[in-house]
Amino acid sequence: MNSPILVTGASQRVGLELAIQLAQAGHTVISASRHPSATAAHPNIVQFQANLEQEADRLALIEHITRQYDGLRGIIHNASLWLDDGLDNLNTMFKLHVEAPYHLNIALGAHLAKVEKADIIHICDETSTRGSKSHIAYAATKAALQNMVLSFAEKYAPDIRVNAVLPGLLMFKEDGDEQYRRQSLKKALLEFEPGAQPLIDAVFFLLNTHYSTGSSVVINGGRHLKKPITHD
């Protein structure tokens, strides 16, 4: 059966590396992103240009998948924006982090059910469980994305497994200065920049396991255990 994995936000950084490794492992990957990537040149990667904040673009993507493929092996909701707080940005992140995954999960559920083992994986954020005073809207929309894992896991069991990955810092922003890097690293017990591989490893684990649904894999370098330094 011709059953690809849909990966959103796969044109750069972690999403791009994930798409490439999935393709190298033999999966057909549909990379759905705002802008096609010149570096995603692999015969197993099919690029589909779509702004997932827009319903019309999502409908075009859904039509493409249901017409071109017999089934769907998985959906990995990786598309994300890390924007400052504000009503406009809250609305933008809600559309991308909540509305788009909800729409795609509902519309493509029947196509996922055609495959013997199908997975939906929501790439959330470790702030979705603890909040963030500096990025309230981002953390809130990621929390909604994580909550939907529970609902879709129950809705689609036992045919489709639905899980989440909650990463902490993986890769620095390109415009971050040295002070920002040092401060960010000190927030975790493991004080180094791990790159994309921990998230990719978590995704492959969820794709391969047969007894996990409605669960979250946290990869944050022990940030939840880091205690503030106190002086007696």
Residues marked active site are found at 138
d(CA 181, CA 29): 33
d(CA 16, CA 131): 27
d(CA 84, CA 220): 22
Q: Are residues 24 and 94 in contact, defined by beta-carbon separation less than 8 angstroms? A: no
Q: Please, how many CA atoms are within 13 Å of residue 28, restricted to the half-sphere of its CB?
A: 13
Q: DSSP assignment, residue 229?
A: P
* DSSP per-residue string spanning 93-150: HHIIIIIHHHHHHHHHHHHHTTSSSEEEEEE--GGGGT--SS-HHHHHHHHHHHHHHH
